[in-house]
Chain A
């Protein structure tokens, strides 16, 4: 089946620094990648949708200047949390899909802790 990787799996950073999370589709070309955030015991909250080579579409309430998304190729998307604060601590999950497919393949997630 389709495999999506995320790196790093866990990161701890200090308040005010920036953190980059990578999402890669390993064995297929991902025309679209999604970034989710999940709080403990809560469901996945879609943050943004990105298509290769174009600007990401952000969900209402998500600050695009704080959560920078780049989808430079059909196998890589990055999420950069800029000037991180403790309230940004969360589980960030990416998913990828190919054109026209309703099925999404999820990465293993990245646990971000901001101290």
Chain B
């Protein structure tokens, strides 16, 4: 059975800290891994990763994929209170032409001032 596991499930840090969120997966015919940030409404897209070892960066956020070990990490440096959200990891596979995504349970990040 395909699955996506995120850890930790929740994390509380202070502003300025650096955090690392983890996502491991077991999906047949892997195609891509996506990270989303969800605040009070629907998820907003952060990154899509398809190749191992290539870091994607956007400001203080960065992510990398390891297709051999089947995991990805999302790093946030110099955290701010606005980073508080649920971070979702999702994986798509090649078998489905419909673009189905398999979501993890998410990591609830809380950043205190």
What's the least CB distance linking B89 to chain A, in Å?
9
Which residues in B have their C-beta under 8 angstroms from that of A104? 34, 99, 101
* Of B44, B99, B104, B105, most A-chain CB atoms within 10 Å: B99
- Find out whether the CB atom of B88 lies under 8 angstroms from the CB atom of A41: no
Which residues in B have their C-beta under 8 angstroms from that of A34? 100-101
Which residues in A have their C-beta under 8 angstroms from that of B106? 43
Stretch at the interface among A11-19, A62-70, A74-82, A106-114: A106-114
CB within 8 Å of A: which B31-58 residues: 31-32, 34, 36, 41-45, 48
CB within 8 Å of B: which A81-115 residues: 93, 95, 97, 100-109
Q: Contact partner of B105 among A43, A102, A109, CB < 8 A?
A: A43
Is A25 positioned at the interface, with any CB of B under 8 Å from its CB? no
With A43-B88, A44-B103 known as contacts, the answer to whether A103 contacts B44 (CB < 8 A) is no
Q: Contact partner of A102 among B31, B36, B103, B108, CB < 8 A?
A: B31
Residues in A lying within 8 Å of B, measured CB to CB? 1, 6, 32, 34, 41-44, 46, 49, 51, 57, 93, 95, 97, 100-109
Residues in B lying within 8 Å of A, measured CB to CB? 31-32, 34, 36, 41-45, 48, 88, 92, 97-101, 103-106, 108
A to B CB contacts below 8 Å, 16 in the list: A6-B42, A41-B108, A43-B88, A43-B106, A44-B43, A46-B101, A49-B98, A51-B98, A100-B97, A102-B31, A104-B34, A105-B45, A106-B42, A107-B42, A108-B41, A109-B41
